[in-house]
Structures are given as C-alpha cells and as structure tokens.
C-alpha cells in the first residue's frame, strides 16, 4: 500500500532478482540512467513485476545515487547489497549482459530500496 503523495514506478525484474527483493536481501537495485528514471526520488514506490506474470513486489525508494559506470556503483554500494548470492565479478558480468556498453555510458543508478510492509 502506498500513500497518495508518493509516485509509483512500474519496472520489470528478472525472477532471480525479484526473489532477492521480495526476501528483503537485495537492498540496492541497479538501473541505467534512462530518461524515464530521471525523476525517481526518495519516497517514491517501485512496483517490480516479473515480466509476463502477475507477480509483483512493492518497495519504497530510500536513496538514489548516480555513478559513472557499473564498476564504480558496485565499489560504492558494496556487491552484497546489490546481490548477496554472487561475487562482484559475477555481478559485473551479469549486469553488463543485461545492459550493453552504450547503455552503461548513460550512467548507472543505485537505488536503495526497502520493502513496503
């Protein structure tokens, strides 16, 4: 449930990452700094959905930090906050498999999230 003042952003998430968010163990979501995320702010709600399903999970945005690239993001945020089940190098490879270098060049966002109870 969200309050009337917060905005809701709907974003897709791979099942493996969705499970970590829903469990509360993934506290940093990584995204490219796309224009549609430029206004993402503390207090906003993100409704994550596993693409092609009705499974959703809502989180509150606690902080948004911009980094020049994914390496700087992982170093600044700590890999275990992004994905507690993978090493830094595995995470970097996984993130870059999702976002090619031309997307990474737009900048990286670290979005600190917390489950909405």
DSSP string, the chain: ---TTS-EEEEE--HHHHHHHHHT---EEEEE--GGGTT--TT-EEEEE-TTSS-EEEEEEEEEEEESSHHHHHHHH-HHHH-TTS-HHHHHHHHHHHS-HHHHTT-EEEEEEEE--
Q: Looking up tokens 């595995």, which residue turns up?
A: 90
Instruction: Enter the pTM of the model.
Output: 0.92
pLDDT reported for residue 5: 62
pLDDT reported for residue 1: 45
Question: pLDDT, tens digit, for every residue of 78-114?
Answer: 999 999 999 999 999 999 999 999 999 999 999 999 9
Evaluate whether 57 touches 21 at the Cβ level (below 8 Å): yes
Chain centre to alpha carbon of residue 33: 11
- Whether CATH 2.30.130.30 fits 8-115: yes
Q: Is the pLDDT of residue 9 over 90?
A: yes
Q: Domains of the chain: which residue ranges?
A: 8-115
């Amino acid at each position: 449930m969200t309050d009337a003042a917060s905005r809701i952003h709907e974003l897709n998430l791979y099942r493996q990452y969705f499970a970590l968010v829903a469990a509360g163990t993934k506290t940093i979501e990584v995204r490219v700094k796309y224009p549609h995320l430029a206004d993402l702010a503390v207090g906003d709600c993100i409704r994550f959905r596993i693409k092609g399903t009705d499974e959703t999970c809502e989180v509150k945005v606690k902080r948004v930090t911009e980094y020049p690239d994914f390496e700087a993001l992982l170093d600044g945020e700590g890999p275990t906050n992004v994905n507690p089940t993978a090493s830094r190098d595995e995470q970097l490879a996984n993130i870059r498999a999702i976002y090619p270098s031309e997307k990474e060049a737009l900048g990286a966002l670290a979005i600190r999230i917390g489950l909405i109870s």
